[in-house]
Amino acid sequence: MHSLEQGKAPIYEALQKYKSMRVVPFDVPGHKQGRGNPELTEFLGEKCLSVDVNSMKPLDNLVHPVSVIKEAEELAADAFDAKHAFFMVNGTTSAVQAMIMSVCKQGDKIIMPRNVHRSAINALIISGAIPVYVNPGVDNKLGISLGMPIDEVKKAIADNPDAKAILVNNPTYYGICSDLRTITELAHRHNMYVLVDEAHGTHFYFGENMPVNAMAAGADMAAVSMHKTGGSLTQSSFLLINDRLSVGHVRQTINLTQTTSGSYLLLSSLDISRRNLALNGKRIFEKVSLLANYARDEVNKIGGYYAFSKELINGDSVFDFDPTKLSIYTREIGLAGIEVYDILRDDYGIQIEFGDIGNILAIISVGDRALALERLVSSLSEIKRRYSKDKTGMLDHEYITPEVVMAPQQAFYSNQRSVAIKDSQGYISGEFVMAYPPGIPILAPGERITEEIMDYITYAKAKGSSLTGTEDMAIENIRVVEE
């Protein structure tokens, strides 16, 4: 049970009080409660702009909280069973970067799976930390990367006893979880920190029969995207820490990159959403799980598609599965996931989270209704009938084992030149190439460009994947390290 009064929302309450005081603003923002920008006020509403305010004494300050934000942080920590919770307004990207930068300095090693979000590799470019990649397990049929196999983690620890930390995805984009408790025990036994990217795991803290969450597993830090499945506004997240880290040190690290003008729209959305989940989360995520399971069963009845779930659990690289994820394998009907993604949006007015080479993902959360899921299922059925074709010649894997030649920071800041991707084989990449979403790099700075990677990029482009990361917006050329 929570020890604090979870019915409170201190930031939200302070903003309500501020509104009632009818303060005359001679501070920023310059739109002055919306009066200076009538079009924006009409678009977003007076209620919204009247609380788009600057830090001031009654509303506290995110950089150095002493009153309402401090109290809201304590309530959030209590709700998530953490030692402390930081309000993050630069997205979960900044939370992942703060985790890594809090425990790794230049030259320090960090063990991580290669299928991390780009934000983790960006943190290595900023901090100068050196990645030790654990290749995730791979499901050859689905073509997706899985969790971190324990033997691979043990090997990485044995080969790199001086590593400072291990980073784990919990869950992956597809809903797959590693054995977080065992990894945490192994890491702590070797005096390493455990950092968890829980961008897609907010509901693990509040739902019943969910995979274990980072704080319960004893991890040291977790980056939690409240906006993804917890109901807060886009770009708002929590960074949670446990007992082995100093609150002051982590806050200083956050303040290196986080804005000094924390948005009260984002802060209050975190405050209100935390209250809602602490009070109603069990019921909310029970409903979400039921909706996802219903949709999964219906999709599997169509035939040709495979909406996968807990049957993938193998006790190791798939230690657990997030039942709220509607991940669907599409290659059997002769369509890449990205093709189904495009057809759903263009022909049926349905926007799903992402499609890649072999799968699509629909995020099911607090805001979904059975009727909308029925529309998704019937649309998938119709797509199969109208568009399915022979699957011969389709690329059948997502994960390519990287050849890391130099540290990401060294590659990123080295002398570079631009070459055509089709002529880039053998060079060391100086930049990223990734499909977004999910934002997991196909190629990261410091990695050798191979024929397999070139083929993958060509195929992903041809199928309609939205590729990002290169300086060249057309993704025809890539910057390589001058050797």
Average pLDDT of span 364-384: 95
The model's confidence at residue 135, banded by pLDDT at 50, 70 and 90, is: confident
**Cα atoms in the Cβ-side hemisphere of radius 13 Å centred on 474:** 4
Q: What is the pLDDT of residue 220?
A: 98
Distance CA 358, CA 143 (A): 7
Tell me the C-alpha distance between 405 and 446, whole Å.
6
d(C-alpha 72, C-alpha 266), whole Å: 13
Q: Which domains does the chain carry? A: 282-387 (3.90.1150.10), 408-481 (3.90.105.10)
CB of 149 closer than 8 Å to CB of 436:
no
Asked if the model's pLDDT at residue 398 lies above 70, the reply is no
Mean per-residue pLDDT for 10-25? 94
DSSP class per residue in 11-31: HHHHHHHHHHTTPPP-SS-TT
For 217-234, write each residue's pLDDT tens digit.
Answer: 999 999 999 999 999 999
Q: Looking at the predicted structure, is the pLDDT value of residue 364 above 70?
A: yes
Q: Are strands 193-198 and 165-169 parallel, antiparallel or unpaired?
A: parallel
Tokens 């002769």 correspond to 334
The string of pLDDT tens digits covering residues 302-353 is 999 999 999 999 999 999 999 999 999 999 999 999 999 999 999 999 999 9
Cβ neighbours of 151 (radius 10 Å)? 11
What pLDDT score was predicted for residue 2?
83
CA 457 to chain CA mean position, Å: 22
Question: Has residue 437 got a pLDDT over 90?
Answer: no
In the three-class reduction of DSSP (H, G, I as helix; E, B as strand; rest coil), residue 443 is classed as strand
* pTM (two decimals): 0.95
